[in-house]
Amino acid sequence: MAGQYNRWERFYNRLNLWFNGTVALSIIPFGIAFLDTQDEFPSPPIVDKSTTLGLQIVLSLIVAVVIWFGLHYSKKKLKAIPDGEIETKLQSYLTIKMRSFFILEIGAVLSVVGLYLTKDHLFTGLYLVVMFVFSLTRPTFEKISSDIRVSQKSLTEWGKEEN
When pLDDT is cut at 50, 70 and 90, the band that residue 162 belongs to is low
| Contact assessment for residue 128 and residue 134, using Cβ atoms and an 8 Å cutoff | no
When pLDDT is cut at 50, 70 and 90, the band that residue 1 belongs to is very low
- Using the predicted structure, report yes or no on whether residue 76 has a pLDDT greater than 70: yes
Measure the N-to-C terminal CA separation of the chain; round to a whole number of Å. 16
- Using the predicted structure, report yes or no on whether residue 42 has a pLDDT greater than 80: no
- Give the pLDDT of residue 4: 66
Range with lowest mean pLDDT among 1-15, 23-37, 76-90, 94-108: 1-15
Closest to 139 in 3D by CA, of 104, 111, 97, 106: 97
Q: Is 30 exposed, middle or buried (0-12, 13-18, 19+ CB in 10 A)?
A: buried
Report the number of secondary-structure helices (H) and strands (E) in the chain. 7, 0
